[in-house]
A and B are shown apart, each in its own frame.
Chain A
Amino acid sequence: MPSMINSLKDALEKKFPGIKLRILRDSLLLEDPQDLTRVAQHVKESPAFRLDYLSSVTASDFLDYLETIYHFYSMEKKSGPWVLRVRVPRENARVPSLTPLYQSAELQEREAYDLFGILYEGHPDLRRLFLWEGFEGHPLLKNYEQENADTLEARDVEWLEAHGVKVPETMKKNAAELKASGKRALVEKPTEPRQA
Chain B
Amino acid sequence: MKYTENNSTIDPSLRDEMTKQNVFVTTLDFIYNWGRRSSIWPMQFGLACCAIEMIAAAAARYDIARFGAELFRASPRQADLMIVAGTVTKKMAPNVVRLFNQMAEPKYVIAMGACAVSGGPFADGYNVLRGIDRFIPVDVYIPGCPPRPEVLLHGLMQLQKKIDSQSIQKAEWYQKGLKREFPIPELGPHGLVPKFNPEVWQPPETDNRAKHYGHVIRIGKKTKAPNLEPAVSAPPSPNPSAGA
Cβ-defined contact, B183 with A193, below 8 A:
no
B224 touches A193 (CB 8 A): yes
**In the complex with contacts A131-B91, A188-B218, A149-B130 CB distance below 8 A:** yes
From known contacts A6-B237, A63-B225, A139-B127, infer whether A147 and B198 are also in contact, taking CB-CB under 8 Å: no
B228 / chain A contacts, CB cutoff of 8 Å: 24-25
Is the CB of B234 closer than 8 A to any CB of chain A? yes
Most buried by A among B91, B196, B198, B224: B198
Q: Taking the complex as formed, is B221 at the interface, i.e. its CB lies under 8 A from any CB of chain A?
A: yes
- Which A residues contact B (CB, under 8 angstroms)? 2, 6, 9-10, 22-25, 61-64, 130-132, 134-137, 139, 142, 144, 146-147, 149-153, 155-157, 159-160, 163-168, 171, 184, 187-190, 193-194
Which segment, of B53-61, B62-70, B148-156, B185-193, faces chain A? B185-193
Chain B residues with Cβ below 8 Å from A146 are 126, 219
Indicate whether B220 reaches chain A with its CB closer than 8 angstroms. yes
Q: Does B242 contact A (CB under 8 A)?
A: yes
Residues of B in contact with A, size category: 35 or more
Residues of B within 8 A of A (CB): 91, 124, 126-127, 130, 183, 186-191, 193-199, 202-203, 218-226, 228-229, 231-232, 234-235, 237, 239, 242-244
A130 to B128, CA, bound (A): 12
Interface of chain A: mostly helix, strand, loop or mixed: loop
- Which chain B residue lies CB-closest to A168? B198
* Of A22, A61, A137, A139, the contact of B242 (CB 8 Å cutoff): A22
CB pair B221 A142 closer than 8 Å? yes
How far is B197's CA from A168's CA once the two chains are assembled, in angstroms? Answer: 11
Chain A residues contacting B221 (CB-CB under 8 Å) are: 142
Report the separation of the CA atoms of residues A34 and B172 in the bound assembly, to the nearest whole angstrom: 67
30 contacts across the A-B interface (CB closer than 8 A): A9-B242, A10-B239, A23-B237, A25-B231, A63-B223, A63-B225, A64-B225, A130-B91, A134-B187, A134-B188, A139-B127, A147-B191, A147-B195, A149-B195, A149-B196, A150-B195, A150-B196, A152-B196, A152-B198, A153-B195, A155-B193, A155-B194, A156-B193, A160-B198, A167-B198, A168-B198, A168-B202, A187-B219, A190-B220, A193-B224
